[in-house]
Amino acid sequence: MIDETAIEHDLRAAAARAAEHPLPDLGDAAATAGLLDVAYTTLDSPLGTLLLARTDRGLVRLAYVDFEGEDEVIEELASRISPRVLAVPRRLDETRRELDEYFKGARHQFDVPIDWRLTHGFGRRVLRATARIPYGAVSSYKQVAAAAGSPRGSRAAGNALGANPIPIVVPCHRVLHSGGGLGGYTGGLERKRLLLDVEHGSTTSPE
């Protein structure tokens, strides 16, 4: 005959031991062992699910999951940065908090550090110039090309903005055509419109 009282006692004892000696956090254990180079997580946002990834240098990737695909982004990170990619949500807590504040209209500038390693040359200069466009303001492809050192490089600037690995935080949605047209946007123009709307409709046409 099964002694249910004894079984219950053993289960309670096992639970108590587990509480006293919890399993180590996988992310912390991987980092301590030198096995974590890229931490990532996802965030539900007004623009859909976002994938966020960071290295020890800072935020390296932000992707629209329904546009690029989570597996594809992780494979890109593994091939271009390191195969040591692991889902560690806690390491993206600050980024998630700042994005939540931004979408609520409570944050006008991101403070999280950026890892620019997925950008190079003229493209990186374009994105750095774009990162300096203030909240609620807009610029043009020609203006950011000039700020990056190539006044005639509007088309190349557009390509760099289209390949922006960190949209929203690096605000390529603030770059429009000189006549005020939206231009293009990774993830679709509706997201670009929504981001401009988040910034309280305070945009004006670039010169």
Question: Residues with catalytic annotation?
Answer: 172
Burial class (CB in 10 A: 0-12, 13-18, 19+), 50: buried
Q: Give the count of beta carbons closer than 10 Å to the beta carbon of residue 78.
A: 14
60 φ, ψ (degrees, to nearest 5): -115, -20
Burial class (CB in 10 A: 0-12, 13-18, 19+), 54: buried
User: Which residue, among 138, 158, 143, 140, has the nearest Cα to 199 in the 3D structure?
Assistant: 138
Q: Where are the alpha helices (DSSP H) in the chain?
A: 4-20, 26-32, 65-68, 70-80, 93-103, 121-131, 141-147, 154-162, 189-198
Distance, in Å, from the CA atom of 161 to the CA atom of 184, rounded to the nearest integer, reads 9
Estimate the crossing angle of helix 121-131 against helix 154-162, to 10 degrees: 80
